[in-house]
A and B are shown apart, each in its own frame.
Chain A
Amino acid sequence: MTVEDLQELAGHEQQRQQQFMHRIYYCSAAGCISCGSQAIRETLKKSLHENNLAAQCEVIGTGCMGLCGEGPLVKVDPDGTLYQRVDEATAQRIVDEHLVQGKPVADHVVDTSHPFFAAQCKIVLEHCGRMDAERIEDYIAGDGYTALAKVVTEMQPGDVVEEVRKSGLRGRGGAGYPTGLKWGIVRKVKSDVKYVVCNADEGDPGAFMDRSVLEGDPHRILEGMAIAGYAVGAQQGFIYIRAEYPLAIERLKIAIKQAERLGLLGNRIFESQFNFRIDLRIGAGAFVCGEETALLRSIEGRRGRPRPRPPYPSERGLWGMPTLLNNVETYANIAPILNRGSAWFASIGTPKSSGTKVFALAGEIRNTGLIEVPMGIPLRTIVFDIGGGTPEGTDFKAAQTGGPSGGCIPKEHLDVPVDYESLGALGSIMGSGGLIVMNSSSRMVDVAKYFMDFCRDESCGKCIPCRVGTVHIHDLLDKISKGKATRDDLGLLEELCVMVKETSLCGLGQSAPNPVLSTLRFFRHEYEELLTTAETFVPSESDHDTSSHA
């Protein structure tokens, strides 16, 4: 495969697509499949055939179209009409009325001028819902693998790292470490063998961004990883993916096979000296494996238990070799940055947090689904404009970001800009992108208990603060929620949270108390209301008392 071959292939595919009068996309991401989108495909194909339109219309299964709560979704191009809640009868009507008579089926049409669509800014998700995830040609027709071609044939590895650094891209897994800096470190370490690893172990409950990207645009990740391999001098990549995502695994397998067949992965990529392969590693259900050192242990076929850092994986990672580890969404940003330039990317978002962020909106919100917004957008815009607010008859209480490592953001802080620093200042974290809206029916003590139950269960047991601390915090929360706790217990809870946060070995333990601390910060009265009035001697009680009486 040469650069010319790639352009030729893209040209062929574009021509092929243009010969169709209509291209009909149906969402074949996990959410819509479970609502029966496969049956819709059959109906569409059958009725196109009956109307003698089969040769002029193409039916394409795509990745997530975003509005998951209203699925299954179908889109008809070239006019871009989007249909929601499509069942087999509606699919039949789409063919009969829209394609044959030219009249869209009005009662199922989604208004795409709604802020849910208009306020988004798509970079990572630009192909999701617009192309067939199982055909590499479709990806190539949309400028796929051109960034890899440019990098391998025209750029020096150092320049690639510099370009990523200048873009200001930060790790999308949650911590926000500057990506360019990490690449630079791995590049500088002298070693014959280096590895590039993609963290697709999306363990946060309530997060499905990585799944959607992998299902909808797997080649984007492969391209990003190959570019990373070229930049840092690695020849082998691994994608560590959860076993809970069978469809994403299947699509990645197909994508890797296709890329290898065309010589876009393997030896002498674009006739250069650069070789790069990617293998899949399937996780086996352990939240702690999202932590980088635990993940690497798991790839080595061992128990996923973290180890102290330093040495960081950039210096000593997989099998003791320098390893570059980034999140799915981080790799998905690489190809656009190199195609369109770091200045373009840096112009989106805020100076300290550039680019966009994908969020999975769920919980008590009208428009559940997958969204991508520029960094720095106010949380209020996400919840009330894009998300459409809470369902009728309920009121907004809190938004939870960052999963079990994050915190709850209350109503009065809704205008916080969504970036790494601002969310951190509120005691929450950006996290990988799960955003769950809660209404007044959620008791905050129960929410905190729910997350602590999760952390207690998922603690790997290696370090004592996390193993023992999470159990005790959970027991205290349980006591409080049952109305059996005293003011003493509340003091103990706070003390324990700070201790676990400061002394745990890895990110899991260090962030496990966050949901408790953030709900204590903003919803302290809910805890205090549940305390018993039983007499206990607490020296520092006086200041609490005055505040609760006032």
Chain B
Amino acid sequence: MPPLTAQKPHPSGDNRFKLLDRAITKHQSRGDALIEVLHAAQGIFGYLENDLLIYIARALKLPLSRVYGVATFYHFFTLKPKGKHVFVLCTGTACYVKGASKIQHALEQCCKTTFGETTPDNKISLVSARCVGSCGLAPVAVLDDGVAGKLSPENAVERVRAWQQQSDEVTA
């Protein structure tokens, strides 16, 4: 394995690369396991940094263009770090019909950022998803890892406010 990590050590240490290596070995370093490996890498590191993509390309013996192409083609992969909390608003048809766009506007005003972006203080990321498959509870959002259904602009903003205050306390 090329000593890429030695050139630019990752701020949180090298142990996470060991986990990634394990995932790569599990797929016998096969090039067609690229998507699986990217899933693993994003699970471990949170997002796919350029260095990480180079590392994966060398480990799987693939051209970097292929790795970068795949990582940018799929919506699930993110090349930018996410905020501390992630608000995934479903914009599927049922949620659309039930007024997800009102929630979207309310949240954008509340966080002073747009969907697809993270607030400058890295606290909250607003993400839109096409459908999380819980249409019976529309409008739906995934807050960090829990699904919240039957949202209104008011209670969505309330939850985000709670995050804003909570992280204030932690940093204070």
Q: Do A and B come from one complex?
A: yes
Contact A284-B136, Cβ < 8 Å, known A205-B130, A206-B92, A454-B130 = no
- Residues of the B chain whose Cβ atoms lie less than 8 Å from the Cβ of A304: 73-74
The yes or no answer to B70 lying at the interface (CB within 8 A) is yes
- Residues of the B chain whose Cβ atoms lie less than 8 Å from the Cβ of A363: 93-94, 97-98, 135, 138
- Residues of the B chain whose Cβ atoms lie less than 8 Å from the Cβ of A434: 93, 135
Query: Do A69 and B35 have beta carbons less than 8 Å apart?
Result: no
The yes or no answer to A518 lying at the interface (CB within 8 A) is no
- Of residues 123 through 172 on chain B, the ones whose CB sits less than 8 Å from some CB of chain A are 129-138, 140, 146-149
Number of A-B residue pairs, CB cutoff 8 Å, is 140
Query: Do A360 and B135 have beta carbons less than 8 Å apart?
Result: yes
Q: List 5 contacting pairs A-B, 8 Å CB cutoff, sorted by A.
A: A31-B147, A207-B131, A208-B135, A285-B74, A368-B94
The yes or no answer to A373 lying at the interface (CB within 8 A) is no
The yes or no answer to A362 lying at the interface (CB within 8 A) is yes
- Residues of the A chain whose Cβ atoms lie less than 8 Å from the Cβ of B24: none
Q: Which of A118-126, A219-227, A294-302 contacts B (4 or more CB under 8 A)?
A: A294-302
Instruction: Count B interface residues, CB 8 Å.
Output: 39
- Residues of the A chain whose Cβ atoms lie less than 8 Å from the Cβ of B133: 30, 202, 207-208, 211, 244-245
| Chain A window 222-244, contacts with chain B (Cβ cutoff 8 Å), 1 for yes, 0 for no | 00000000000000000000011
Binding site for A on B (CB under 8 A): 30-36, 38-39, 66, 69-70, 73-77, 91-94, 96-98, 129-138, 140, 146-149
Interface size class of chain A, counting residues whose CB lies under 8 Å from the partner chain: 35 or more
- Shortest Cβ distance from residue B112 to the other chain A in the assembled complex, whole angstroms: 24
- Residues of the B chain whose Cβ atoms lie less than 8 Å from the Cβ of A403: 93
Query: Do A301 and B91 have beta carbons less than 8 Å apart?
Result: no
Complex: A304 Cα to B147 Cα, angstroms:
28
Complex: A299 Cα to B33 Cα, angstroms:
8
- Residues of the B chain whose Cβ atoms lie less than 8 Å from the Cβ of A211: 133
Binding site for B on A (CB under 8 A): 30-31, 33-35, 68-69, 71, 202-208, 211, 243-245, 281-287, 298-304, 360, 362-364, 368-370, 400, 403, 434, 436-438, 442, 450-451, 454, 458, 460
- Shortest Cβ distance from residue B35 to the other chain A in the assembled complex, whole angstroms: 5
Q: A203-B131, A368-B135 are in contact. List 20 more A-B contacts (CB 8 A).
A: A31-B147, A68-B134, A208-B134, A208-B135, A282-B35, A284-B35, A300-B32, A302-B34, A303-B70, A304-B73, A304-B74, A360-B135, A362-B97, A362-B136, A362-B138, A370-B136, A434-B93, A436-B93, A442-B97, A450-B96
- Shortest Cβ distance from residue A62 to the other chain B in the assembled complex, whole angstroms: 16
Least CB separation from B75: chain A residue: A285
Identify which of A206, A370, A460 contacts B131 (C-beta below 8 A): A206
Which residue, A34, A207, A208, A303, has most C-beta atoms of chain B within 10 A?
A: A34
- Residues of the B chain whose Cβ atoms lie less than 8 Å from the Cβ of A244: 129, 131-133
Contact A68-B36, Cβ < 8 Å, known A285-B75, A302-B66 = no
Identify which of A71, A299, A300, A362 contacts B135 (C-beta below 8 A): A362
**Which 4 A-B pairs rank lowest in CB-CB distance, beginning with the nearest?**
A68-B136, A205-B92, A34-B147, A284-B74
